[in-house]
Amino acid sequence: MLLIRRLAVERERWMSAREFGEVWALSQLSPGIHLVALAGLIGRRAAGWRGVIAAVAGMMIPAAAITVALTAAYEMIAASALARAALAGVAPVTGGMTIATAALLVRTSARHGRTHLAIDLAVCLASLVAAVFLGIPTLAAIGAGAAIGALALGREPPTSRESSVG
């Protein structure tokens, strides 16, 4: 997601940081692979329905081919120490990229003031506690967090002329 954000917001400037945050939040509500939904929404913003097709195909076709190839190769090397070491390193790398992306989103939120940042962080923390410690289904926690955030920040004027989702 960090690489997608850099491409869409910083390099190609298809959307603002706020619009990216909006489409990212929307993609989290979709069933299935969230990054594919995110790519589709960014593709729509960049090039309409053709962008959706290109973005989703660009995410799915190479991923499917790589998955088939790696599954066949993994069967051959599954017991090796090198494969086990590589798999052990995946979680820290994924965690680091997630933290970096969260830091970018928090920094964007902080630019709108302390109240905005406090509400964002409180909603995120409440959703985390609800999902992890209270056993509430993750989708329900995300939905409740989205509703609370929309109620708390819904009157905020948009920063772009057109909606990134409509």
Distance of CA 6 to the CA centre of its chain: 12
For residues 51 and 45, the answer to whether their CB atoms sit within 8 Å is yes
Is 164 a domain residue?
A: no
For the chain, how far is it from start to end, CA to CA, in angstroms?
Answer: 22
Is 162 a domain residue?
A: no
Kindly tell me if the per-residue pLDDT of 156 is higher than 80: no
Distance of CA 8 to the CA centre of its chain: 13
Number of domains in the chain: 1
Query: Picking from 21-30, 137-146, 153-162, which range would have the lowest pLDDT averaged per residue?
Result: 153-162
* CA gyration radius, the chain: 18
Is 20 a domain residue?
A: yes
Query: Picking from 6-15, 33-42, 67-76, 120-129, which range would have the lowest pLDDT averaged per residue?
Result: 120-129
Q: Angle CA(109)–CA(104)–CA(15) in degrees, nearest 5?
A: 80
Is 94 a domain residue?
A: yes
Residues 46-60 pLDDT 10s: 999 999 999 999 999
Across 108-136, average pLDDT: 80
- Residue span of the structural domain in which 43 resides: 2-153
User: For the chain, what is the largest distance between any 2 Cα atoms, rounded to a whole number of angstroms?
Assistant: 57
Is 71 a domain residue?
A: yes
